[in-house]
Amino acid sequence: MTRNTEGATIVAASVLAGFGVTLVNFAQERSIDAQTALTFLVFLIGFGGIHLAVRAFAPKATPLLLGPVTALTALGFFQIYRLDLATESSRAGLQRWWILIAAGLACLTLVLLNRTSVSILRRYRNITLLVSVVLILLPNLPTDWGFPLRGLEVNGSRLWVLLDIGFTTFQFQPAEIAKLGLVAYVAGYLADHQRALREARRHIGPIAFPEPRQLIPLLITWGVSVLILISQRDLGASLLLFVGFVLLLYAATGTTGYLVAGGFLGLIAGVASYLAFDHVQRRVIAWLAPFEHYEDEGFQIAQGLFAMGTGSLSGAGPGLGRPDLIPNASTDFIFAAVGEELGFAGTVSVLALFALTVAVGLGIAFRSRDTFRKLLAAGLTFVLAVQTILIIGGIVRIVPLTGITLPFMSYGGSALVGNLILIALLLRISHEEAP
Amino acid sequence: MNGPVRRLSIGLFTGFFALLLAVTWIQVIHADALKADPRNSRPALSERGKERGLMVTIDGTVVARSVEDPEDPRSFVREYPEGEVFAHVVGYNSFLVGSSGLENAYAQELRSKRDLTISDLVTVILGRDLRPESLEITPDAELQRAAYAALGDLKGGIVALDPRTGAVLAAVSSPSFDPESLLGGDAAAVWEGLLADPNGPLLDRATREIYPPGSSFKTVVAAAAIDTGEADLNTEFPDPVEFPLPGSSATISNAGGGVCNDGQSINLLQAFVVSCNTTFADLSIRLGAEDIGITAEALGFNTEIPFPWTVPEAAYPVDVLAEDPAALGQSGIGERDVRAAPLHMAMVAAAVANDGITPTPYLVNRIFDADGNTVETFEPSPMGRAMAPATAEVMVQMMERVVTEGTGRNAAVPGVRVAGKTGTSMGPEGLPNPWFIGFAPVDDPTIALAVFLEASPELGESASGGGVAAPIAGELIRLWVERSP
């Protein structure tokens, strides 16, 4: 596959986005309007822009990554547009702006790294850590003070920051950007201390365990995750942070003990939070018995299952299902919405595209010779994969629902910005590590 | 370091595989159960909100239409502006209790073709219309309303046909129900209530229930007799008080209890005009089941009538009657095993009016698209000849005499020559089912009809076709002749 094929895939995915909008319009008995052309153009400019930036600044990067990502964004966008019509909101228009902004920032990432290399993230990792921690703590700002930057609570989670610049306000989830910084920091830290960490271990039976003092970073991360869980009442971000860190620690050292210890700490935090917080209890109840608690806790999951089951093999057709019956469909349950309207065919396609993206990401990690780049590529891919598995797993009832967004597909600007920058970083690593 | 990454990759792809299995379970294996869950409103909603075609009567009255839902502008609600009057004809399309009537029979035409978008695109590319098609139906709304009003609180059914074409001019059943009441969220409860109603409002007494036609069936027997040459107007019959049924101790007696004429003899015309039971029991046995059967079947008995819905077959069981002279005698006066819906008896009257040719009844005149262009027009061919034109001519004379001087005098309309035949059959608990079949105007018939009232305590035990059914027929004929150009 060449760069030109990548361009063709992006054009095809842009057509898919425009065509999806057309089909929805058509199904909703609307005429074909400017939405189709606008959507097509936004995808073409956004992702085509990244494509051109890759040509200019990372020409040796893998051509396999951008296509699936564009297709996933297109599938998500058409559902956001479709839900807009049913719920009389105007998220699709905003999401289009966010696509342009996120693509612009992804291009900017490629431009900036072109002058140096991703290794700059290793060199300045302490600054990255500081910025990331500040970003994570931003939502804990007071919600009602005079400062234009405030915390914001949405659906019981303190994940949002509100920027009030007088004539308008912006909302974003800083954790979506911070997760990149944290992965970069951990990758840098582990690359520097890899040897020491790997050698400082003892075997208990067949399992290698780290020296107790080497567990300190793990304990710190665990503590931070629990703090996020308590202060921001968000299961998803803290779980993602902790799981991502444990996986990266294992990847760097090959010490199985980190997985065991991480699993143990995760279990403690999970049981404790189940006992302590009723929002965690509600999630577990909804996970185990959604239909028995249909009227309250289980409603969203049950509706998601009804949506997917009704969609069955081929789906109701774009614009012809009722995904709007699922609460918060465009943020939390976009996967179920796709399942209703595009059916099993649609959900399998989405899973395949994510699996492909993750496989390409892991392939970049495998091929990297430089330890930092290898760990960074692996870490970024882990975060992407774990996030995908957690949210879809929550919808299909493999794990409790964690309330994180589905990468590329869910409505939400900060997530899209974070994930497209993540893709830009993977592309850059792929370029730098190309033979 | 690639070792741990590889092991983690296997873990992640195991995760993706688990997602795939779960999705397969939900969307393939378990999908039907999720679809059928009563809390899942999607399957019903997908049909409910869709636009359906119009149903318009021949005179332009809208009897079914879809209008935009005021609460959801992208969705439609079904309205039946004529309500109870057209309930059994138009039917209903309910997402909870199913569908009936024309809504059911023409579901394919009436529904919006807009569903699977890919196939929709193909349809559009082929130049076909996605919008629902509409029906122009044959009834005259004014006549239909009058017929329903005439039945009032009584149980019964009325069918009026254009004898020349078979077009159904009116088809009403009473009591009726409001089809819109079956469209709401409480449809199941309303449905249960209608089912439990002892008066059976859901029953279609015009076309989907069969009853003994009583003396109105004498029209069939007389036509068979004249057609075969067994008798003519002047053929004399004995005029006893009772006619003993062969091979049985039972007898047939007359409505008044006495003789029909002078106790000596009575000719066929007189017997028909006063509806003499003894004569027709006698004639029926003389003719035999086979000969009556041929005429009856040519008039629509023992035959599946092509109609938008399944019409129960009118029964004249030839084989049984050929073996049983007593039953044959009783069936000569439309009792025993003879059964017909008002639709069938209207066809009998229409055949006589139509020079002996039985028309095929039809309800839908044409199908038209959303732009009003005709998609399909129905011109049903007649079912066939039931009697010779000369026989029909004699039958017309006899039936006109019924109205001018016989049992059907109450059907007379000033200034209009009306022909008909009364009937009063035995209903449940010995109560009478009054009938009247007839047509008008005699020289150029434009309407043939059957009025049936179901036996009920409200109707009483002394009700007769001539007494209660004939006046209704006269009223409808007068209205129709006034409205006809």
pLDDT tens figures, A234-253: 778 888 888 988 999 899 88
Closest Cα of chain B to A327: distance in Å?
Answer: 14
pLDDT tens figures, B269-290: 999 999 999 999 999 999 999 9
For A271-290, what is the mean pLDDT?
88
Percent of chain A with pLDDT over 70: 98
Closest Cα of chain B to A427: distance in Å?
Answer: 19
Interface of B with A in 450-469 (CB under 8 A): none
Most B-contacting residue of A72, A197, A306 (CB-CB within 10 A), to test interface:
A306
pLDDT tens figures, B121-132: 666 677 667 788
Most A-contacting residue of B13, B14, B17, B23 (CB-CB within 10 A), to test interface:
B23
Nearest to A321 by CA among B467, B126, B346, B27: B27
**Least confident interval from A148-157, B22-31, B241-250, B272-281:** A148-157
Which residues are CB-neighbours of B165 under 8 A, at least 6 positions away? B359, B362, B380
Please enumerate, as own/partner, the contacts of A192-195 that have beta carbons within 8 Å and a separation of 24 or more: A192/A122, A194/A252, A194/A253, A194/A371, A194/B1
Which residues are CB-neighbours of A143 under 8 A, at least 6 positions away? A150, A151, A152, A153, A162
* pLDDT computed for residue A318 by the predictor: 86
Chain A partners within 8 Å of B37 (Cβ) = 291, 306, 309
Question: B441 has which bridge partners?
Answer: none
Chain B partners within 8 Å of A298 (Cβ) = none
Active site residues of B: 215
**Least confident interval from A192-206, A368-382, B14-28:** A192-206
Answer whether residue A82 is part of any domain.
yes
Neighbours of B216 (CB within 10 A): 32
* pLDDT computed for residue B120 by the predictor: 62
Chain B partners within 8 Å of A313 (Cβ) = 27-28, 31
Which residues are CB-neighbours of B274 under 8 A, at least 6 positions away? B260, B261, B406, B407
* pLDDT computed for residue B371 by the predictor: 86
Answer whether the bond into residue B246 is a cis peptide, omega within 30°: no
Which residues are CB-neighbours of A52 under 8 A, at least 6 positions away? none
State the total domains in chain A. 1
Chain B partners within 8 Å of A291 (Cβ) = 37, 39
Answer whether residue A256 is part of any domain.
no
C-alpha to C-alpha distance for B2 and A435, rounded to whole angstroms: 18
Which residues are CB-neighbours of B184 under 8 A, at least 6 positions away? B190
Answer whether residue A21 is part of any domain.
yes
Closest Cα of chain A to B375: distance in Å?
Answer: 23
pLDDT band at B117 (very low <50, low <70, confident <90, very high): very low
Interface of B with A in 2-31 (CB under 8 A): 2-6, 8-9, 12-13, 15-16, 18-20, 22-24, 26-28, 30-31
Closest CB to A318 among B15, B22, B117 = B117
Strand arrangement, sheet containing A169-172: A149-154, A157-164, A169-172
Q: Across chain A, what does the average pLDDT equal?
A: 88
Backbone angles phi, psi at B236, to 5 degrees: -90, 140
Handedness of CA A266, A272, A273, A275 (dihedral sign): positive
Answer whether residue A314 is part of any domain.
yes
Q: What is the domain extent for residue A150?
A: 3-185+278-432
Closest Cα of chain B to A318: distance in Å?
Answer: 7
Domain boundaries, given as residue ranges, for chain B: 214-364+380-483
Closest CB to B120 among A26, A309, A389 = A26
pLDDT band at A402 (very low <50, low <70, confident <90, very high): confident
C-alpha to C-alpha distance for B159 and B245, rounded to whole angstroms: 34
In CATH, which superfamily holds the domain spanning B214-364+380-483?
DD-peptidase/beta-lactamase superfamily (3.40.710.10)
- In terms of pTM, does the model score above 0.80? no
Closest CB to B27 among A312, A374, A397 = A312
C-alpha to C-alpha distance for A183 and A244, rounded to whole angstroms: 8
**Least confident interval from A211-215, A381-385, B12-16:** A211-215
pLDDT tens figures, A121-166: 999 988 998 998 888 888 888 877 777 788 887 767 777 888 877 7
* pLDDT computed for residue A103 by the predictor: 97
Task: Decide if the complex's ipTM is over 0.90.
Answer: yes
Chain B partners within 8 Å of A316 (Cβ) = 42, 46
Question: A208 has which bridge partners?
Answer: A203
Closest Cα of chain A to B98: distance in Å?
Answer: 19
Are A366 and B2 an interchain contact pair (Cβ–Cβ within 8 Å)? yes
pLDDT tens figures, B220-240: 999 999 999 888 888 999 998
Answer whether residue A196 is part of any domain.
no
Answer whether residue A267 is part of any domain.
no
* pLDDT computed for residue B44 by the predictor: 65
pLDDT tens figures, A13-34: 999 999 888 888 887 766 667 8
